[in-house]
A and B are shown apart, each in its own frame.
Chain A
Amino acid sequence: MDRRRKPKLAVWKFSSCSGCQLALLNLEDELLQVAGAVDIAYFPEASRAVAKGPYDLSLVEGSITTPHDVERIKDVRRESKYLVAVGACATAGGIQALRNFKDVNEFVSTVYASPEYIETLAKSTPIADHVLVDFELRGCPINKRQLLEVLSAFLHGRRPNTPPHSVCVECKQVGNTCVMVAQGIPCLGPVTHAGCGALCPAYNRGCYGCFGPMETPNPEALSEQWGRLGVGEEEIVRAYRGFNANAEAFRKEGEAREKQDAQS
């Protein structure tokens, strides 16, 4: 990379809660370093100053839920040399993808007084369904250490170290007790993408799957085990219908168990 000119960074928001952008602001200790290393050209959540594109790196938070989003993400892509989707919304559709399993028009007419003003798509979808994405950073929210890693890797032209294996690998490396084996608590760790440092098992909770499916997930086998731990089909469906409900492996397992539940 050209070391003379600071690369221009833009942060975009689509349908999301802004939690991932907050991860960037929460970098507290490192934020000045970030500001020193990149030119924060567009980040409405943090600053009103706007520098025009093109941008060297765009971080995109949020999912695509409206016809307007579909157009806007194309503009962002056009203006960005690298586009990194951050968070469960941008990489899987987010919690708002729960609408994908129902009829969105029903929600609209129940929730809004004047539904005719609402223009929305039937499904909430990840950025990669619409434009080419150079890198996906998982998590709901993303982990700030990993965000820093992605930024450093981008700045120095190397691959980010954000391993796609299970949460279990991290869980064992930090020395947690396995809550599933030692306490019989259902845990999504074995099918979930690493990145959080196995936070929940460290507090005696099963993993909720915020980082979405790991590289080669086998949710079917995990559900069988949950069944042996006494977890019912309905609860299993609910577990997969979280922030990453629309991620393929989780969506399929949720649908499969829903069918089973309906039959029983």
Chain B
Amino acid sequence: MPGPALEPGTQVVMESSDLQKFIDVLWRKGYHVVGPTVRNGVVVYDELKSVTDLPAGWTDEQEGATYRLKKTDGKAFFAYGIGPDSLKKFLHPPVVRLWRARREGAGFQTVEETEEPPKYAFLGVRACDLHAVAAHDRVFTSEEYADPSYARRRRDIFVVAVNCAKAGNTCFCVSMRTGPKATVGFDLALTEILEGERHYFVVEVGSETGAAVLREIPFKEATAAEKSAAERVIAATAGQMRKALDTTNIRELLYDNPEHPFWDEVAERCLTCGNCTMVCPTCFCTAVEDVTDLAGETAERRRHWDSCFTEDFSYLHGGSVRASAKARYRQWMTHKLAAWLDQFGTLGCVGCGRCITWCPVGIDITEQARALRDKGRIERPSVTVGEHASP
């Protein structure tokens, strides 16, 4: 199809009536398409075949420890805020088998894990989650510690971002410089626009792969008016955002106040249940377990999500290093907002707000950071490490 040169940054318009074609093209190209859908009272990521599976007519209200799906009479497909799961579920799944072994005489033979993961196309990914994937790339694909399981799943993904049209009550991406506009890590980025009877997407090209997909569906050049409509959507979302986390000298603030009584207060409320780490798109910690069958003929090693909130996680010879809730919450927050900078050159928080919504008692990392700033003091000179905030 002739038309504008589809270079990264080019913006075109796709009518909402062509969204099904778009999904079909992705399947045809061999992708396993995953997108948002309503399941059991929340918006989750799952296999997506039809536009009718998208959460049109749904939105949600989120607060600390509260999530409620709400029916609307709107037509927007993406008017919801992010649900509990993220791409982590697919790229760094809860349980991964690393290898199997079979007894052979006195020794054993290991069997490689060769299962090829599906080639995923993700539709509807928000800006914060793209930053989370970028953060995982740093964690799992560094030269020294590359993780083959992540690399295999990550390698061929196709990402269709959606710029947020509504700020959730718990998110704070603006202050983390990770959203609400998708700026990195997408092949195509959509902004959904409803104007009177018209329902369309302004599509920004992010890669040549994205352009190639676009060429197979109807689109036209975006007019100046359409482009500014998209900008207004994003600006409005940014303007709605209520929460913020001030990252100025955040690393020093955490490193200088490990014994502050502030930690005791949060420890009284924290259940050490681990929900925050499970829903966090950047939390990556795992444990390995070895299992055998009864006969002792086969064994396997599995890796599963673990959490700095469990006791076993810091178990060294003789006991758990972080026995108290205080030590665990402090570890979590200090790692996210300080040690990540030293380790990976980026913060471990992208401001998605999931840990706030899904904490059963609504502990809020932004409030905790604010309380620490109010009460704690910074003693060391501040040092800038890495790019700060935005991965």
Contact = CB atoms under 8 A, between A and B. Distances in A.
Interface in B345-363: 357-358, 360-362
Given A152-B291, A175-B89, A169 B357 contact: no
B294 interface: yes
B359 to A, nearest CB: 8
A224 B272 contact: no
B310 A175 contact: no
A181 B274 contact: no
A34 to B, nearest CB: 6
A24 B312 CA distance: 28
B312 A164 contact: yes
Contact of A182 (B42, B292, B307): B42
A168 B279 CA distance: 11
Contacts of B269: 218, 221, 224
Contact of A165 (B270, B291, B311): B311
A215 B84 contact: no
B231 interface: no
B360 A168 contact: yes
B110 interface: no
Contacts of B115: none
A136 to B, nearest CB: 15
B272 A216 contact: yes
B361 A222 contact: yes
Contacts of B312: 163-165
Given A178-B275, A216-B311, A222-B360, A173 B296 contact: no
A33 interface: yes
Given A164-B312, A168-B273, A168-B275, A221 B268 contact: yes
Given A165-B311, A178-B360, A181-B66, A173 B273 contact: no
Contacts of A153: 292
A95 interface: no
B270 A218 contact: yes
B333 interface: no
A90 interface: no
Interface string B286-316: 0001111111100000001101011110000
Given A148-B294, A149-B291, A180-B360, A165 B275 contact: no
B360 A190 contact: yes
Contacts of A178: 67, 84, 275, 358, 360
A180 B275 CA distance: 12
Nearest to A192: B273
Given A156-B296, A168-B360, A190-B360, A173 B291 contact: no
A119 interface: no
A187 to B, nearest CB: 7
A181 B358 contact: yes
Contacts of A5: none
B272 A169 contact: no
B325 interface: yes
Contacts, number: 135
Interface in A173-226: 173-178, 180-184, 187, 189-191, 204, 214-218, 220-222, 224-225
Contacts of B360: 168, 178, 180-181, 187, 189-190, 222, 225
Contact of B44 (A175, A184, A187, A225): A175
Contact of A172 (B95, B275, B293): B275
B84 A177 contact: yes
Contacts of A151: 294
Interface in B314-344: 323-325
Contacts of B268: 218, 220-221
A52 interface: no
Size class of the A contact interface (CB-based, 8 Å): 35 or more
Contacts of B69: 182
Nearest to B302: A161
B271 interface: yes
A32 to B, nearest CB: 10
B252 interface: no
Nearest to A202: B40
A189 B65 CA distance: 14
B294 A182 contact: no
A158 B301 CA distance: 13
A108 interface: no
B274 A166 contact: yes
Contact of B271 (A34, A36, A166): A166
Residue among A161, A166, A176, A184 with max Cβ neighbours from chain B (10 Å): A166
A128 interface: no
B291 A161 contact: yes
A75 interface: no
Given A177-B42, A221-B269, A152 B292 contact: yes
Residue among A30, A36, A178 with max Cβ neighbours from chain B (10 Å): A178
A172 B89 CA distance: 10
Contacts of B39: 177
B94 interface: yes
A155 interface: yes
11 contacts: A165-B307, A168-B273, A173-B95, A176-B40, A181-B66, A189-B360, A190-B271, A190-B273, A221-B268, A221-B271, A225-B360
Interface of A: 30, 33-34, 36-37, 148-149, 151-153, 155-156, 158, 161, 163-166, 168-169, 172-178, 180-184, 187, 189-191, 204, 214-218, 220-222, 224-225
Given A173-B94, A190-B275, A221-B270, 17 more contacts: A161-B289, A169-B307, A173-B278, A173-B304, A177-B84, A180-B65, A181-B358, A182-B41, A187-B360, A189-B273, A191-B271, A204-B40, A216-B272, A218-B268, A218-B325, A221-B269, A221-B361
Interface of B: 39-42, 44, 65-69, 84-85, 89, 94-95, 268-275, 278-279, 289-296, 304-305, 307, 309-312, 323-325, 357-358, 360-362
Top 6 closest A-B pairs, CB basis? Answer: A172-B278, A190-B273, A173-B94, A190-B271, A165-B310, A168-B273
